[in-house]
Amino acid sequence: MTMCRRKEKRKPFLDDDGSTIADMNVEGFHWYQNARDKARRSALNQLSVTRKERWAMIWGGLLAYLPVFLIILVSFGITFLLLFYWISRHGF
pTM of the model: 0.47
Is 50 within a domain?
no
51 belongs to a structural domain: no
pLDDT score for 6: 66
Bridge partners of 27, per DSSP, are 29
pLDDT in tens, 5-58: 666 777 777 777 778 788 777 888 888 888 888 888 888 888 888 999 999 999
Q: What is the DSSP string of 54-85?
A: HHHHHHHHHHHHHHHHHHHHHHHHHHHHHHHH
In a domain, 81, yes or no: yes
Residue span of the structural domain in which 76 resides: 67-92
List beta partners, residue 29. Answer: 27
CA count, 13 A, side-chain hemisphere, 2 = 3
Tell me if 79 is assigned to some domain: yes
91 domain-assigned: yes
Number of domains the chain is built from:
1
Residue 57 maps to a domain: no
